[in-house]
Amino acid sequence: MKLSKLSQLFLVSAIGLILATWLTACNIVTIDYVYVSTSGGSSSGNTGQIYSFAADAETGALRVAHAAVSSGGNSPIAMAVDASYSNLYVANEASNAVVHFTIASDGTLAQKDSLATTEPPVAIAINPAGTYLYVLTGTTSATLTEYPLSTGSIGSATVTESFSVPGFATDSLVPTAITVLPDGSAVYAAVYDASAYSPGCPSCVTSNANPGWVFGFGVGSGGALAATADSPYQAGIKPSGMATDPTNRFVYVTDFASNELIGYTVQSTGELAFMVNGPFKTGNEPGSVAVDPRGLFIYVTNALDSTVSAYSISLPTGSPSAALATSGSSSNLTDTQPVAITVDASLARFVYTANHLGDSVSGFRLNPSTGVLSPTLAGPYPTGSGPTAIVTVPHGNHAIQTTAP
């Protein structure tokens, strides 16, 4: 009997839930907690939600750890966890708010304080010391704001930087991503110039500026921000995701419009310089990018292809290799439209994607020697509607895999 597409979806979900229940019944060991923000809950009318999963140390399979909780607003778009893994921050785009949650030892989330932003928040990041929260906001104008953190609580803004492209001060800039060097010495933010790049609306293009940019700021005493030398830096057409390696030497940016991964080397002053043999090919519509905690591999979500591209890093230069093969293919299939990706924070053994149209999380086992990915058991794992961001937190029953800068 031939099943309809809807029937097939229900069957896959049912099998996944049965296997997840079986895993729960077994006395498995949790390696990480995985948190996923969604634009809706499991039923219509709900606002933003955060789903909590526990990852099995042996297989990487996910099971529900706790009931979903409100994200504290509408349309959560980004999440960040501090280096102590005790505080989670969620940017709610439609509510102009960033909400702070504490993370208990059993993975339970508790909402604490929040901050209101004048424009919708788009991306957030935390410095390694856990003393500053960086919030990137705007829809037609990009602004970076720094907030002090005290035992996780958010203080009043200390620094605000508004972006403009030199020579094109009136252009509309759309912010997309942010990252902080592991030593906290610099912060970088990506934008694209909507006045110079407007697909589907040629008449909307009013500027001949380069469309994609990365703005860099050195972080000084007391959190003071100062533009790095020659900032901003060209970043293709539509930069969409950012990540750094754990040694403070490299920054990677995905270009959604050009289907490329752009690599930069970080100079001693925080200035960025293009990798000489880049940019590097990705799948179609690359978005989120993650570097494993050891600094050996890079993983990129391709929204249009519903795949993950995997690369190894040349340690002397930072250059990504050609995509690593898996089962004869250079791509790793996810559920529909992966938009966010994370490598498990404890031992870097698993990779997870949040699939926006699939309403799910896809999981992969990471081969620590080759970087090759293989699907985890019982995936994809159902979430609420429209997942947008994903982070992992170590369970705390083992050492954490890191690379010292």
> Given this model, what pLDDT does residue 47 score?
82
Residue 23 lies in a domain: no
CA distance 204 to 362: 37
Give the SS3 label for residue 3. Answer: coil
Q: What are the structure tokens assigned to 50, written together? A: 């955060």
**8 Å CB contact between 40 and 52:** no
Beta bridge partners, 116, equal 97
CA distance 299 to 206: 35
Domains: count for the chain: 1
Structural domain range at position 111:
29-394
> Given this model, what pLDDT does residue 41 score?
53
**8 Å CB contact between 119 and 174:** no
Residue 24 lies in a domain: no
Residue 344 lies in a domain: yes
Residue 401 lies in a domain: no
Side chain identity at residue 197, one-letter code:
Y
> Given this model, what pLDDT does residue 383 score?
96
Q: Write out the H or E segment, with its range, that includes residue 97.
A: strand 97-103
> Given this model, what pLDDT does residue 322 score?
65
Give the SS3 label for residue 287. Answer: strand
Neighbours of 331 (CB within 10 A): 19
Give the SS3 label for residue 385. Answer: coil
Beta bridge partners, 218, equal 186, 226
CA distance 54 to 66: 9
Residue 365 lies in a domain: yes
Beta bridge partners, 162, equal 143
**8 Å CB contact between 98 and 120:** no
Compute CA 134 distance to the chain's CA centroid, rounded to the nearest angstrom.
14
Residue 224 lies in a domain: yes
Residue 84 lies in a domain: yes
Residue 16 lies in a domain: no
CA distance 120 to 360: 25
Beta bridge partners, 280, equal 261
Place of tokens 């920054």: 251
Cis peptide before 316, with omega less than 30 degrees from 0? no
Non-local CB neighbours of 119 within 8 Å, separated by 6+ positions: 96, 137, 138, 139, 141, 143
DSSP string for 244-275: E-TTSSEEEEEETTTTEEEEEEEPTTS-EEE-
**8 Å CB contact between 184 and 219:** yes
Cis peptide before 232, with omega less than 30 degrees from 0? yes
> Given this model, what pLDDT does residue 114 score?
97
Q: What are the structure tokens assigned to 271, written together? A: 């200035």
Neighbours of 169 (CB within 10 A): 7
> Given this model, what pLDDT does residue 9 score?
46
CA distance 379 to 226: 45
Round the CA-based radius of gyration of the chain to a whole number and report it. 20
Give the pLDDT of the chain (405 residues) as one tens digit per residue: 444 544 444 554 554 554 444 444 445 688 899 999 998 754 444 589 999 999 999 999 999 999 999 999 999 999 999 999 999 999 999 999 999 999 999 999 999 999 999 999 999 999 999 999 999 999 999 999 999 999 999 999 999 999 999 999 999 999 999 999 999 999 999 999 999 999 988 889 999 999 999 999 999 999 999 999 999 999 999 999 999 999 999 999 999 999 999 999 999 999 999 998 899 999 999 999 999 999 999 999 999 999 999 999 988 899 998 656 554 445 799 999 999 999 999 889 999 999 999 999 999 999 999 999 999 999 999 999 999 999 999 986 444 555 444
Which residue, among 168, 157, 124, 164, has the nearest Cα to 141 in the 3D structure?
164
DSSP string for 62-92: EEEEEEEEE-SSSSEEEEEE-TTS-EEEEEE
User: In this structure, what CATH number is given to the domain that contains residue 377?
Assistant: 2.130.10.10
